[in-house]
Amino acid sequence: MDLRKDKKKDMLCTAVALAAMFIVLLVMELTMKSTSILFTVMKKGVIYALVAVSMNLLNGFTGLFSLGQAGFMLIGAYTYSILSMPVSVKMGESVYKYYDCAIGIELGIFPSLILAGVIAAVFAALIGLPVLRLKSDYLAIATLGFAEILRALFQWDAMGPVTNGANVLRQYKDLTKVKIPFTNIQFPPTLFCFLVSGICIAIIVLLINSSYGRAFKAIRDDEIAAEAMGINLFKHKEMSFVISSFFAGISGAMLAMFQYTVQAAQFKTAMTYEILLIVVIGGIGSVTGSCIASFLFIACNEWWLRFLDESSNNILGLNILRSGFRKVVFSIIIMIIVLFFSKGIMGDREFSWARIRAFFARFKKKAAASEGGEPNV
Amino acid sequence: MSDSVLRMEDVTMQFGGVVAVNNLSLEVNRGEIVALIGPNGAGKTTAFNCITGVYEPTNGQVFYEDKLIVANHPSGKMKKAYQGMNSEKYIHVKPIDPTPDQITKLGIARTFQNIRLWKSMTVFENVLTAKHMRARQNVFSATFRLNAAEEHRMHEETLALLEEQNLLQFKDDLATSLPYGLQRRLEIARALATEPKLLLLDEPAAGMNPQETEDLGQFIVQIKEKYDLTIFMIEHHMDLVMRFSDRIYVIDFGKLIAKGTPAEIQANPKVIEAYLGVADDE
Amino acid sequence: MSFLQNSLPYILAGISVGGQYALIAIGYTMVYGILRLINFAHGDVFMAAGMFMVFLSASLPLGAAVPLVLVLTVLLGFMIERVAYKPLRSAPRMSVMISAIGVSYLLQNCALYFTGGLAKVYPQLPWLSDTVTIFGAVTKRVTLITPILTLILVIGLSLFIKYTKVGMAMRAVSKDFETARLMGIKVNSVISSTFIIGSLLAAVGSLLYFTNYASVTPTSGGMPGLKCFVAAVFGGIGSIPGAVIGAFIIGICENIIKGLGWTTFSDAFTFALLIVILLVKPTGLFGEKATDKV
C-alpha cells in the first residue's frame, strides 16, 4: 500500500519537475538573446540526448552492440529536409543545381519528422534481417559497414535527383520555421527541441519499463535463457533495432532542423563514436545517464573548453593553447572515464526520487548525529 | 488422444566426429515423472538440447503430444561423416528445426544445469519476464499501457508463483544474490511461468544436501499434481531418482543401455557396469 | 590489348594497395586472435606513423627518419596496449572495444592538434617515389616493391610464429588464453609482442601507402583501418595468410571499382563484401568455428 503511494508521489514529483523545466525554458527563451551559446548547447544537447537514448536502447538494454546510429540519423536528416523543402525551392536553381529534383511534394514539419523516423525504421528493418543474426563485435562492424554504405548511397550521382548527390541541402523548414499552431508566431526553438525529444525519450522509457523492455533485458542478460523462456530472439532484436532507428531518424531530422544545412559527409563513423562515448559516459543501460552525458558532452565540446583553443591564453610563453587543444584535452578526459570510471555517471541505475529522499534522509541523520553527539545505530 | 507427451525416435546428435547422442529413442507419458540418468558426459544434456531446439539433431525425430516437432536426417557434409544408425529412415521426412522459443510456446519448459537466471533482474522480474511469451499484448499496447488489466494479471500471477515457492520474501532481491538452492527453485518458478505441460529439469538437485534433495523431490511431486504436469528430468542423486520417478532411462556414451522402473534399473547389471566400470582382468 | 593497357594501372594499383592493406590487416588479425578485440585504434596508429614521418623528415635526413618512425610507431602501439587495454583485461569485451574507440578518437584529435587540421604533404622517398613504366603503364616504383616486400615480411612473420618460442606462445594464447596462462606463459608479454609486431608492420605499411597517396590527414587512418579489419574478417580472423589474401582481394576489387568509375562505392564495396561474408561464411575463408556450450 505504502509502495503505491510512493509511486504516485514520485510521478507527481516528476510531472512538477518537468513542468518547471519547460516553464523555465520558456521564460529563458523569451527574455534572453536567442543567439546565446547556452541555447545552442541546449538544443544540440537535447537532440544528442535523444539519439544517445535510442542507442542505449540497443546497446544498453538489448545488449546489441550496434554502431549504425549515424547512418540512421543520415536517413532521418535527408528524409526530413527533402520532404519539408518547399516545392518552389526544389524547382529552382538554388539547391538542386545539377539535378532535377524528383520529389515534387512538400510536407509540413510534423509529417516530415514522423516520416524521417519511419523511413529510418524501414531501412533498419531491412538491414536487421541479415545482420541481427551476428554476435557482438561482428554485429558492431556490420552495422558500421551498413552506415558507410548508406552514406555512399546518399552521395551517389544516380541518387542525385532525390538527395542532391554529395551537395548540401538547405532552405528546408528549419527550427525558425516552427510556428505555434493556428498562429503565425514563431515557436521558441529550444522549447520545441525539448518537447519533441522529451516525448520521444518518454516513449522509449515507457517501452523499456514494459513487458517488451523486460524481454529486451532478458536477451541482454542471457540469450539462451531468454530463448528457452519463449522470447523469440530475432523478433525482439529486430523490434529493438527498428524502434531505436526510428528515434535515431527523428533525432537526425531535428539535427537537420537545428543546423540549417545537411550534407551526407557529416554522418561519418566518427559521429557514431561520439554518440557511443556519450552513452558510455552516461552509463550503459541508464536513460538519465545518457541525457546528462549528452548535455555535458556538447557543453564541453562547444562551450566550456573553448578557452583551450584560444591562442591568446598562453601558459609560460609556450604556444600550447591553440586550435584543436580543446579536443585533445576532451578526448583525454573521455579516456580517463572509459578506463577508470567504466560505469559512467549513472552506471545502470536511473534517477529516482526514492534515492534522492534516501540521500536527504541520510544527510539529515548525519546532521542530527553531529548535533546530538553519539549516533544511534 | 494417446497418453504420449514426448517421444524421441532414433535421435542422433553428432558434432564433427563425436557422436554425443546415439540413436536414442524414448517416451514420456502424461502425468509421469521420468528420469534420464547416466555417467558424466553420457549425452543427457545434449538430448535435452535436441528436444528444446537448442541443437538441431543430426538424425531422428521428436514428437510432442504425437505432433512432429523436430526432424532431421544427415545431409550435406554430414552425409559422409555420419556415424550413427538409421541414416536412411528419415530421408523422406522434411527437416523441422524449430527455435527454442517455438518449443517453449508449445508447452515444454526447461531449467538449466548451470543456472541461467537473468542476473540484472530481481527475483520478481525474472518470473514476470517469463510471462512475456503468453502476454496478450503487442509492443504498442504494452508501451502505452493500453492493457492495464493484462499487466495486472501478470503481476498477480507472478506473486502467486513466488508465494508458492516460498520466494516471496526475496522478491525484490537480485536473482543472483539468492543462495544456490533457492536459485534452482527460482529457475523452476520461472519455467512454470511459461505455463508448460511438460517440464524438463536438468539436474535440479545438483549441489544440494540430502535434506534439500528430499524436499525438492516432494516439491516436484507437488507441482506436478498442482499444474497437471509431466516431468522429465536429468539427475545424479540416485535416491531422488529411485524414490520419485515412475520410470528411468539410462544412457552411456549417448546410447540407451537400459530402461524400466526404479526397481528394474537397480537390478540391471549393465547399469552397474556403466557407473562403476568393468573389471579389466577377465 | 587496349583493355589490358587501360586496366593494368588499376590492377597494379590494386595489388600495391592490397599489399599495404595486408601489412595493416595482420595487426588486426593478430590482436583479434589473442584478445578477441577489434583494435579500432590500429588504423590511427597507421595514420600516426604517417604523421611521425612528416614531422621527422622535416628536420632529419631520411636515413635517420625512417628507422625513427618505425621505433616511435612500435612504442606507440606498445603504450596503447599498456595504458588502454591492459587495465581492462578482466572487463567485458565491450569495454575494451569502447576503450579502443576512445584511443582512436584521442589519436585523431592529437593529430588534428599538431597539424592544425591541414593535410600534410608526405615526403618524397627517393627511389621508391620514382616513376617506372611497365607494359606501357606508368606507375611509381613503390607499386612494384610493395607486394614483394609484403610477401617477404609475411613469410618472415610466419616463420617467426611457427619456430620461435614467442611465436609458439602466441599460438598457445590465441588458442586458449586461460590455459596458456596456467601453463606459465607470460600472457602480458605475449600480448605486448603482438602489438609490437602489429605496429611495426603498420609503420612499414604506412611508409608504402603514403608514398603513394602523397598526403596525410588526421582521418586518413580511419577508412583504411576499417577496410583492413574487413580484410582480416574476410580471410578468417586470427589467420595471417587469410588476412593477407583478404587484403589483396579488397585492394584489387576496390581499384577495379574505381577504374569502372564507381569511386563513390569503392568504400561501400568493402563493407558489402564484409556483410556477405559474415552471412555466408561467418568464419571467413580460413577461420575456425567455435560453438557455445549450453
Who has greater pLDDT, B261 or A102?
B261
* CA-based torsion, C207, C210, C215, C219: positive or negative: negative
Q: What is the pLDDT of residue B228?
A: 93
Q: What is the pLDDT of residue C136?
A: 67
Residues 6+ apart with CB under 8 A from A27: none
Q: Are residues A95 and A149 in the same domain?
A: yes
Q: Are residues B102 and B204 in the same domain?
A: yes
Q: Are residues B103 and B222 in the same domain?
A: yes
Q: Do B109 and A220 touch (CB under 8 A)?
A: no
Q: For A131-135, A230-234, B219-223, which range has the lowest pLDDT when averaged over its residues?
A: A131-135
- What is the distance in angstroms between the Cα of C171 and the nearest Cα belonging to chain A? 22
Answer yes or no: is B262 within a domain. yes
Q: Are residues B208 and B102 in the same domain?
A: yes
Q: For A53-57, B116-120, B237-241, C22-26, which range has the lowest pLDDT when averaged over its residues?
A: B237-241
Q: For residue C264, which residues of chain A lie inside 8 Å, CB to CB?
A: 152, 155-157, 166
Q: For residue A222, which residues of chain C lie inside 8 Å, CB to CB?
A: none
Report the pLDDT averaged over residues A218-234.
94
Q: Do B15 and C291 touch (CB under 8 A)?
A: yes
Q: Are residues A26 and A94 in the same domain?
A: no
Q: What is the pLDDT of residue A373?
A: 47
Q: For A130-144, A214-228, C174-188, C261-275, which range has the lowest pLDDT when averaged over its residues?
A: C261-275
- The C-alpha cell that represents C70 in the structure block: 618505425
Answer yes or no: is A169 within a domain. yes
C2 touches chain B (CB under 8 A): no
Count of pairs with CB atoms under 8 A, one residue in A, one in B: 103
Report the pLDDT averaged over residues C109-119.
86
With pLDDT > 90 as the criterion, what percentage of chain A qualifies?
47
> What's phi and psi for A355, nearest 5 deg?
-70, -35
Q: Is residue B88 scored above 90 in pLDDT?
A: no
Q: Are residues B101 and B26 in the same domain?
A: yes
Residues 6+ apart with CB under 8 A from C251: C14, C15, C16, C17, C18, C19, C20, C21
Answer yes or no: is A162 within a domain. yes
> What's phi and psi for B174, nearest 5 deg?
-65, 140
Residue C265 and residue A177 in contact, taking contact as beta carbons nearer than 8 Å: no
A205 touches chain B (CB under 8 A): no
CA-CA distance, A80 to A179, in Å (whole number)? 17
Q: Are residues B81 and B92 in the same domain?
A: yes
Q: What is the pLDDT of residue C261?
A: 77
- Which CATH number covers residue B276? 3.40.50.300
Q: For residue C294, which residues of chain B lie inside 8 Å, CB to CB?
A: 45, 49, 54-55, 112
- HSE of B70 in the Cβ direction (CA atoms, 13 Å)? 31
Of C84, C99, C275, which is closest to A142 when you measure between CB atoms?
C275
Q: Are residues A83 and A200 in the same domain?
A: yes
Q: Which residues pair with B67 in a beta bridge?
A: B64
C294 touches chain B (CB under 8 A): yes
CA-CA distance, C129 to C53, in Å (whole number)? 15
Of B112, B120, B190, which is closest to A217 when you measure between CB atoms?
B120
Residues 6+ apart with CB under 8 A from A110: none
Which residue do the cell numbers 537526425 mark? A252
Q: Which residues pair with C137 in a beta bridge?
A: C134
* Mutation target vs C (from A234, A337, A342, A343; most C CBs, 10 A cutoff): A342
Q: Are residues A80 and A13 in the same domain?
A: no
Bridge-based pairing state of the strands B59-64 and B4-15: antiparallel
Q: How many C-beta atoms lie closer than 10 Å to residue B213's C-beta?
A: 21
Q: For residue A136, which residues of chain C lie inside 8 Å, CB to CB?
A: 93-94
Q: Are residues A48 and A162 in the same domain?
A: yes
Residue A202 and residue B143 in contact, taking contact as beta carbons nearer than 8 Å: no
Q: Are residues B74 and B177 in the same domain?
A: no
Of C83, C106, C274, which is closest to A331 when you measure between CB atoms?
C106
Burial (CB count within 10 angstroms: exposed 0-12, middle 13-18, buried 19+), residue B277: exposed
Residue A117 and residue A204 in contact, taking contact as beta carbons nearer than 8 Å: no
Q: Is residue A314 scored above 80 in pLDDT?
A: no
Q: Are residues B162 and B69 in the same domain?
A: no
pLDDT band at C237 (very low <50, low <70, confident <90, very high): confident
Chains within contact range of chain A (3+ C-beta pairs < 8 Å): B, C
Q: Is residue A376 scored above 50 in pLDDT?
A: no
pLDDT band at A12 (very low <50, low <70, confident <90, very high): confident
Q: Is residue C191 scored above 70 in pLDDT?
A: yes
Q: Which helix (H) or strand (E) holds B247?
A: strand B247-252
- The C-alpha cell that represents C191 in the structure block: 600480448
- What is the distance in angstroms between the Cα of A216 and the nearest Cα belonging to chain B? 10
Which residues span the domain enclosing A4? 1-30
Q: What is the pLDDT of residue A319?
A: 66
Report the pLDDT averaged over residues A338-360.
82
Q: Do B45 and C291 touch (CB under 8 A)?
A: no
Residues 6+ apart with CB under 8 A from C5: C135, C136, C137
Answer yes or no: is A331 within a domain. no
Q: Is residue A250 scored above 80 in pLDDT?
A: yes
Of A203, A207, A215, which is closest to B129 when you measure between CB atoms?
A215
Q: Do C274 and A323 touch (CB under 8 A)?
A: no
Give the residue on C whose Cα is nearest the Cα of A224: C294
Q: Are residues A99 and A9 in the same domain?
A: no
With pLDDT > 90 as the criterion, what percentage of chain B qualifies?
62
> What's phi and psi for A214, nearest 5 deg?
-65, -40
Answer yes or no: is A284 within a domain. no
Cα–Cα distance list, C24 to B126, C98, C191, C227 (Å): 46, 20, 17, 10
- What is the distance in angstroms between the Cα of C293 and the nearest Cα belonging to chain B? 10
Q: For A3-7, A299-303, A316-320, which range has the lowest pLDDT when averaged over its residues?
A: A316-320
Q: Are residues B228 and B171 in the same domain?
A: no
Of A206, A218, A243, which is closest to B129 when you measure between CB atoms?
A218
Q: Are residues A7 and A128 in the same domain?
A: no
Answer yes or no: is B271 within a domain. yes
Report the pLDDT averaged over residues A253-263.
94
Q: For residue C117, which residues of chain A lie inside 8 Å, CB to CB?
A: 323-324
Residue B156 and residue B106 in contact, taking contact as beta carbons nearer than 8 Å: no
Q: Are residues A62 and A14 in the same domain?
A: no
- What is the distance in angstroms between the Cα of B36 and the nearest Cα belonging to chain A? 20
Query: Residue C215, SS3?
Result: strand
Q: Are residues B123 and B163 in the same domain?
A: yes
Q: Are residues B6 and B99 in the same domain?
A: yes
Answer yes or no: is A142 within a domain. yes
Cα–Cα distance list, A286 to A52, A247, B238, C141 (Å): 10, 17, 47, 55
Q: Are residues A94 and A172 in the same domain?
A: yes
- Average pLDDT of chain B is 90
Answer yes or no: is B112 within a domain. no
Q: Do B54 and C291 touch (CB under 8 A)?
A: no
Query: Residue C113, SS3?
Result: helix
Q: Do B143 and A210 touch (CB under 8 A)?
A: yes
pLDDT band at A279 (very low <50, low <70, confident <90, very high): very high
Report the pLDDT averaged over residues B154-176.
91
CA-CA distance, A369 to A48, in Å (whole number)? 44
Single-letter residue type at C136? G
Q: Are residues A2 and A93 in the same domain?
A: no
CA-CA distance, B68 to A93, in Å (whole number)? 66
Q: Do A152 and C265 touch (CB under 8 A)?
A: yes
Q: In this structure, which topology does domain C2-280 adopt according to CATH?
A: ABC transporter involved in vitamin B12 uptake, BtuC (1.10.3470)
Q: Is residue A2 scored above 70 in pLDDT?
A: no
Answer yes or no: is A36 within a domain. no
- Average pLDDT of chain A is 87
pLDDT in tens, B224-281: 999 999 999 999 888 899 999 999 999 998 899 999 999 999 888 888 887 776 555 4
Q: Are residues B102 and B28 in the same domain?
A: yes
**Which of B194, B214, B242 is a domain's end point?**
B194
**Which of B194, B213, B241 is a domain's end point?**
B194
CA-CA distance, A314 to A180, in Å (whole number)? 48
Q: Do B49 and C294 touch (CB under 8 A)?
A: yes
CA-CA distance, B191 to B169, in Å (whole number)? 20
Q: Are residues A8 and A60 in the same domain?
A: no
Q: For A96-105, B32-41, C50-59, C142-151, which range has the lowest pLDDT when averaged over its residues?
A: A96-105
CA-CA distance, A153 to A156, in Å (whole number)? 5
pLDDT band at B206 (very low <50, low <70, confident <90, very high): confident
> What's phi and psi for B62, nearest 5 deg?
-130, 135
Report the pLDDT averaged over residues A92-109.
82
Q: For A220-224, A352-356, B271-275, B276-280, which range has the lowest pLDDT when averaged over its residues?
A: B276-280
Which residues span the domain enclosing B214? 1-107+196-282
Residue B256 and residue B37 in contact, taking contact as beta carbons nearer than 8 Å: no
Residue B30 and residue B94 in contact, taking contact as beta carbons nearer than 8 Å: no
**Which of B144, B172, B194 is a domain's end point?**
B194
Q: For residue B54, which residues of chain C lie inside 8 Å, CB to CB?
A: 294
Q: Is residue B159 scored above 70 in pLDDT?
A: yes
CA-CA distance, A215 to A62, in Å (whole number)? 8
Q: Do A210 and B54 touch (CB under 8 A)?
A: no
Cα–Cα distance list, A55 to A192, A223, C119, C188 (Å): 22, 19, 33, 34
Query: Residue B217, SS3?
Result: helix
Q: Which helix (H) or strand (E) holds A140?
A: helix A136-155
**Which of A268, A285, A320 is a domain's end point?**
A268
CA-CA distance, A174 to A189, in Å (whole number)? 10
The residue extents of the domains of chain C are: 2-280
Mean pLDDT is highest, among A241-245, A309-313, C63-67, C134-138, for A241-245
CA-CA distance, B263 to A252, in Å (whole number)? 71
Report the pLDDT averaged over residues A231-235.
95
Task: Give chain B as a 3 state SS string.
Answer: CCCEEEEEEEEEEEECCEEEEEEEEEEEECCCEEEEECCCCCCHHHHHHHHCCCCCCCEEEEEECCEEEEEECCCCCHHHHCCCCCCCCCCCCCCECCCHHHHHHHCEEECCCCCCCCCCCEHHHHHHHHHHHHCCCCHHHHHCCCCHHHHHHHHHHHHHHHHHCCCHHHCCCEHHHCCHHHHHHHHHHHHHHCCCCEEEEECCCCCCCHHHHHHHHHHHHHHHHHHCCEEEEECCCHHHHHHHCCEEEEEECCEEEEEECHHHHHHCHHHHHHHHCCCCCC
B78 touches chain C (CB under 8 A): no
Q: What is the pLDDT of residue A239?
A: 96
- What is the distance in angstroms between the Cα of B98 and the nearest Cα belonging to chain C? 17
Closest CA to B6 of B114, B106, B133: B106
Count of pairs with CB atoms under 8 A, one residue in B, one in C: 6
- What torsion do the CA atoms of C133, C134, C138, C140 make, to the nearest 10 degrees? -80
Report the pLDDT averaged over residues C283-292.
66
pLDDT in tens, A134-192: 887 888 888 988 998 898 889 888 888 888 888 889 889 988 888 888 888 888 889 99
Query: Residue B15, SS3?
Result: strand
CA-CA distance, A196 to A113, in Å (whole number)? 10
CA-CA distance, B192 to B161, in Å (whole number)? 8
Q: For residue B139, which residues of chain A lie inside 8 Å, CB to CB?
A: 207, 210, 212, 239, 243
Q: Do B112 and C291 touch (CB under 8 A)?
A: no
The count of structural domains within chain A is 2
Q: Are residues A26 and A65 in the same domain?
A: no
Residue C112 and residue C218 in contact, taking contact as beta carbons nearer than 8 Å: yes
Q: What is the pLDDT of residue A78?
A: 95
Q: Do B52 and A228 touch (CB under 8 A)?
A: yes
Q: For A161-175, A203-217, B26-40, B52-66, which range has the lowest pLDDT when averaged over its residues?
A: A161-175
Q: Is residue B282 scored above 50 in pLDDT?
A: no
CA-CA distance, C154 to C173, in Å (whole number)? 20
Instruction: Indicate the pTM of the whole model.
Output: 0.90
Q: Is residue A374 scored above 50 in pLDDT?
A: no
Q: Are residues B13 and B83 in the same domain?
A: yes
**Which of A236, A268, A300 is a domain's end point?**
A268
Report the pLDDT averaged over residues A16-37.
86
Residue C239 and residue C77 in contact, taking contact as beta carbons nearer than 8 Å: no
> What's phi and psi for B85, nearest 5 deg?
-105, 175
